């Protein structure tokens, strides 16, 4: 089974039909299961509202299974910050993916953010 953690940037691009959104959909479709944190929902709804498209993302959120860490992610934050000084939301998403990796050793990390993608590569996450 192929699995990926998806950053908010990917679903925001699809929802807003940003340039390249079709390619993002093709990337997402390569995986049997997508995961993300609840932060994705907040960022997606906020983006839709800012663009005056309402705040309902329709079926997009049904594509994702939710990661809800049962502990603080201090270890993961430190591991990431040794490589890159990411923004808070990017740090959170990447830390949640690290938290999941013991269950899914081939977990891919999907993002449209260059700095976050570079940090994910340095941490050993395959992209798609």
- Exposure string of 43-82, with b = 16+ CB inside 10 Å and e = fewer, is bbbebbeeeeeeeebeebbebbeebeeeeebeebbeebee
Instruction: Work out the mean pLDDT of the chain and round it to a whole number.
Output: 92
> CA–CA separation, 67 vs 40, rounded Å?
11
pLDDT for res 124: 92
Model confidence at 92, in pLDDT bands (50, 70, 90)?
Answer: very high
Residue spans of the domains in the chain: they are: 3-122
Which residues, listed in sequence order, are joined to residue 35 by a DSSP beta bridge? 5, 65
3-state secondary structure of 120: helix
The verdict on domain 3-122 having CATH code 3.40.50.1010 is yes
pLDDT digit string, tens, across residues 25-67: 999 999 999 999 999 999 999 999 888 887 677 788 888 999 9
Pairing between β-strand 33-37 and β-strand 3-6 as defined by DSSP bridges: parallel
Under 8 Å between Cβ of 46 and 18: no
pLDDT for res 102: 87
């Amino acid at each position: 089974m192929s699995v990926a953690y998806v950053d908010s940037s990917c679903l925001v691009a699809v929802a807003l039909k940003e340039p390249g959104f079709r390619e993002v959909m093709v990337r997402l479709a390569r995986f049997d299961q997508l995961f993300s944190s609840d932060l994705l929902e907040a960022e997606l709804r906020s983006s839709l509202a800012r663009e005056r498209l309402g705040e309902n993302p329709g079926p997009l959120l049904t594509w994702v299974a939710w990661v809800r860490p049962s502990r603080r992610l201090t270890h993961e934050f430190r591991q990431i910050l040794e490589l890159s000084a990411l923004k808070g939301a990017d740090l959170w998403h990447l830390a949640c993916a690290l938290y999941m990796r013991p269950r899914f050793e081939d977990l891919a990390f999907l993002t449209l953010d260059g700095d976050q993608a570079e940090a994910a590569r340095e941490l050993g996450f395959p992209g798609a």
